[in-house]
């Protein structure tokens, strides 16, 4: 099953400003980006509704400074939802009032809808009972709406345009692995011609490689094309530094994903995928065994 959550978490941690510029440009223009945003993921986990424990979702809480000075600090609650969920709007409301209650700070909630249903567009939660009325509305972005902007996304210098393209083409090529392989190569090539740093190329490659999963035969074919691209451009950004990750990363990635899931179930702070994938496979398996024992003891 295609994994969307982990790649999005990695991309948001690394390219949050680029994400805001592409997806929520009005708010982006009001933020003072000379002050680095502060990720409050640990704090968000502590106030997550109990029903959300173990859910496969991407949620972020970010502290930013505004340019105007009228509101010096602003909290941004962000949800990335890859599948329709009947209670999504209510969950957005619950997170909003819990965050607001805990921090008593100005707060904006945003949602990115990454599913394949063009008609699913929740943007408000409301209730009206016996004169007691609640209406909570939040901005949403539907990734499918970028579907007619493929050329613009490909030509964009914003690195998050590549993340959005990877998401869209992963959905569009479901059941067509050869088309997915072709798109994966197509997304990778421009990284070497745009003068991106080696670090940025590696970061985006991890996101694309994780999201646009391929069967073994095409994965081998893709690795071969990747080597050719790097040889042509004389830029061995990925193959020389992360060759081991390409050859063994699928097993490491599977174990790392299990580690993150159990950490979430235990209410622990999740180790980032980047940190996990830099560890040897043997260490990852040992960490997974220890977490499984702890989970079994708690459930027993």
Q: What is the pLDDT of residues 91-117, one digit of tens each?
A: 999 999 999 999 999 999 999 999 999
Token digits of residue 200: 């940025």
Q: Select the highest-mean-pLDDT range: 17-21, 185-189, 198-202, 276-280.
A: 17-21
Between 201 and 18, name the one with better pLDDT: 18
Q: Per-residue confidence at 72, pLDDT binned at 50, 70, 90?
A: confident
Token digits of residue 157: 């210098």
d(CA 23, CA 143): 9
Q: Is the pLDDT of residue 300 over 80?
A: no
Instruction: Determine the pLDDT at residue 241.
Output: 41
Of the chain, the end-to-end C-alpha distance in Å amounts to 30
Instruction: Determine the pLDDT at residue 62.
Output: 95
Instruction: Determine the pLDDT at residue 248.
Output: 52
Helices H, strands E: what count in the chain?
12, 7
Token digits of residue 5: 């959550």
**pLDDT tens-place string over residues 26-69:** 999 999 999 999 999 888 888 876 555 445 467 899 999 999 87
Q: Could you please report the per-residue DSSP string of 106-139?
A: -EEEEEEE-SS-TT----EEEEEETTEEEEEE--
Q: Is the pLDDT of residue 216 over 90?
A: no
Token digits of residue 83: 């599948």
d(CA 84, CA 204): 26
Q: Is the pLDDT of residue 292 over 90?
A: no
The mean of the pLDDT values for the chain is 86
E strand spans, 140-205:
140-142
Token digits of residue 58: 């991407």
Instruction: Determine the pLDDT at residue 143.
Output: 97
Asked if residues 245 and 252 have their Cβ atoms less than 8 Å apart, the reply is: yes
Give the Å distances, CA to CA, from 242 to 111, 192, 209, 222.
33, 16, 12, 15
**pLDDT tens-place string over residues 185-209:** 999 888 887 878 888 888 888 889 8
CA dihedral (54, 165, 93, 134) positive or negative: negative
Q: Is the pLDDT of residue 251 over 80?
A: no
Average pLDDT over residues 230-235: 80
């Amino acid at each position: 099953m295609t994994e969307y959550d982990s790649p999005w978490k990695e991309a948001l941690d690394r390219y949050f400003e680029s994400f805001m510029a592409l997806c929520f440009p009005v708010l982006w223009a009001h933020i003072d980006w000379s002050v680095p945003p502060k990720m409050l993921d640990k704090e968000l986990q502590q106030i997550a509704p109990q029903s959300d424990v173990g859910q496969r979702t991407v949620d972020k809480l970010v502290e930013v400074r505004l340019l105007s000075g009228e509101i010096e600090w602003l909290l941004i609650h962000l949800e990335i939802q890859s599948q329709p969920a009947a209670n999504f709007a209510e969950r957005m409301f619950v997170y909003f009032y819990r965050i607001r209650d805990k921090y008593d700070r100005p707060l904006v909630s945003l949602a990115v809808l990454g599913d394949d249903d063009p008609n699913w567009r929740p943007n408000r939660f409301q209730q009206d009972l016996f004169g007691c009325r609640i209406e909570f509305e939040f901005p949403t972005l539907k990734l499918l709406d970028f579907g007619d902007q493929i050329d613009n996304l490909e030509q964009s210098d914003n690195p998050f345009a590549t993340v959005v393209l990877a998401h869209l083409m992963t959905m569009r090529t479901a059941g067509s692995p050869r088309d997915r392989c072709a798109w994966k190569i197509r997304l990778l090539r421009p990284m070497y011609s745009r003068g991106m740093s080696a670090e940025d190329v590696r970061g985006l490659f991890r996101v694309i490689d994780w999201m646009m999963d391929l069967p073994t035969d095409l994965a081998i074919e893709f690795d071969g094309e990747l080597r050719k691209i790097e040889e042509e451009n004389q830029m061995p950004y990925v193959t020389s530094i992360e060759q081991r990750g390409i050859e063994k990363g699928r097993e490491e990635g599977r174990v790392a994903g299990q580690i993150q899931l159990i950490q979430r179930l235990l209410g622990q702070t999740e180790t980032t995928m980047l940190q996990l994938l830099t560890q040897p496979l043997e260490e990852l398996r040992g960490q997974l065994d220890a977490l499984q024992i702890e989970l079994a003891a708690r459930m027993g």
